[in-house]
Every structure is written in C-alpha cells, then in structure tokens.
Amino acid sequence: MVDHYEVLNPWAEVDPLPLRAISERLTDLNGKRIGLFRNKKVAALPILKVVEKRLKERFHTLKLSYYCRERNVSVAETGNLDEYEEWLKGVDAVILSAGD
C-alpha cells in the first residue's frame, strides 16, 4: 500500500498545473532492468550496493546495470552523452545515488 500526502507550499503560491511524473511508474520490478546511476563521491557506490542487495532479495528476476558519471557535472558536460543515452535505452527505470 502506498501512502499519498499533499504537500503545501508555505509561501501560499499555487502552481496552476498539476504535478505529474516524468514517466509512468513501474507496477512491478520483476523481470525489469533497473539502472543504478552514481557519481564518483565516496559513498555513492556503497549506497547502491545496499540498494542492489535489497532489490535482489525482493525481486529475483530483476536485472541491474550500473552507470557512473565521471565528474560531478551534468552528463552532457562530460562528453559521454551518447554512451549515457545508450545506457538509458537498456533500462526500465533508474535509481540515483549522489553519495554526499
């Protein structure tokens, strides 16, 4: 069961457009390929290793794929945008770890 909460802006500004997800949420992770995206900060990889372990415990047919951003800038600024976009084509969803 997923709980939903309404978050109110303390400044009382209301956005006239309802928020929506960038893409549809996955209903089940079994058989899906999940991308684990990280930066190079020291805690990012250990965080994703725990996430990987926990996901594999729950979803036995899940496939995982790692991608590491080489510098702490936008992927588009690294010169690896084509490689990154190709990686994205092979995953159904992405989990990000910033390691800060």
What residues does each domain of the chain span? 33-97
Q: What is the pLDDT of residues 10-49, one digit of tens each?
A: 776 666 777 777 778 899 999 999 999 998 888 999 999 9
pLDDT of residue 12: 66
Q: Give the number of other CB atoms < 10 A from CB of residue 44.
A: 20
Q: What is the pLDDT of residues 62-94, one digit of tens each?
A: 999 999 987 777 888 888 889 999 999 999 999
pTM value is: 0.74
Tell me what the mean pLDDT of segment 53-59 comes to: 95
C-alpha to C-alpha distance for 66 and 38, rounded to whole angstroms: 8
92: its two tokens: 């159904």
pLDDT of residue 47: 93
C-alpha 25: how far from its chain's center? 12
33-38 vs 93-97, strand pairing mode: parallel
Place of tokens 């010169």: 79
